[in-house]
Structure 1
């Protein structure tokens, strides 16, 4: 099981509209399958090149945690990033879910 973005599920049939005011947003990231570090790097690159104006500003330290609830899976590598975007929270979620889907 791989989790890249800590958000709730949302429908992907909404259109994306860029708003005029930039907002600073923190996004929690986690991965526990494959090359976990590469998953972080790839997700960050995908956000930067998504063409939707997600500008990654800072990365937090990486840390490893034991899985909770479903414990028969690998440990998670976790972090957070700070981005600046003009997207609304819902629109940002749609973009992040699409990146997560593309990454498998």
Structure 2
């Protein structure tokens, strides 16, 4: 069985966000054909877009998977649904958000799946955690996670705050 590396971003700002993210991380290993290989520290971040909501807890994981990109996305959406995710307000508060950021450095542009994630390179809450576990991971044509994180933090130094290593 061939496996590839994928990047998944996790976030929550409702109903004990830290616990929601940690529970979702553990649930990823329960998906057949998915194994978590690296887990970033947890970070608090300010909301983007709709700013009148609680801060988020965010993290990024690297997984090895034998699933196709659409199958992995479907599994992530199923996990969100099981955890009570409601998609009623774009960029709104959420119990859990699982975003497929990159899948084996492939470029996919379909109606229900665009990879790499179209705004990941602009989001400190994705790039800083990714840089913590895979600094040289390249996102599309935008550059390495560490270079992107440094650029984003230079523009907004307080964009993310580390709250815990997962081992805490």
TM above 0.5, one fold? yes
2-structure distance, mates of 1:47, 1:63: 19
Structure whose CA Rg is larger? 2
- Report what 1:99 is aligned to: 79
Structure 1 residue 45: deviation in Å? 2.0
2:24 alignment partner, one of 18, 43, 48: 43
1:85 alignment partner, one of 44, 49, 65: 65
Using the size of structure 2 for normalisation, the TM-score is 0.48
- Report what 2:53 is aligned to: 73
Q: Alpha carbon RMSD of aligned pairs, Å?
A: 1.0
- Report what 2:11 is aligned to: 30
String of CA shifts for 1:12-59, please: whole Å, max 9, x gaps: xxxxxxxx4200111111111111111112112221123x22101110
String of CA shifts for 1:55-75, please: whole Å, max 9, x gaps: 011101111111121111100
2:2 aligns to what SS in structure 1?
Answer: strand
1:74 aligns to what SS in structure 2?
Answer: coil
- Report what 1:53 is aligned to: 33
1:97 aligns to what SS in structure 2?
Answer: helix
Structure 1 residue 88: deviation in Å? 0.7
2-structure distance, mates of 1:54, 1:61: 20
1:21 aligns to what SS in structure 2?
Answer: coil
2-structure distance, mates of 1:69, 1:49: 32
Bigger relative contact order, structure 1 or 2 (CA pairs below 8 A, ≥6 apart): 1
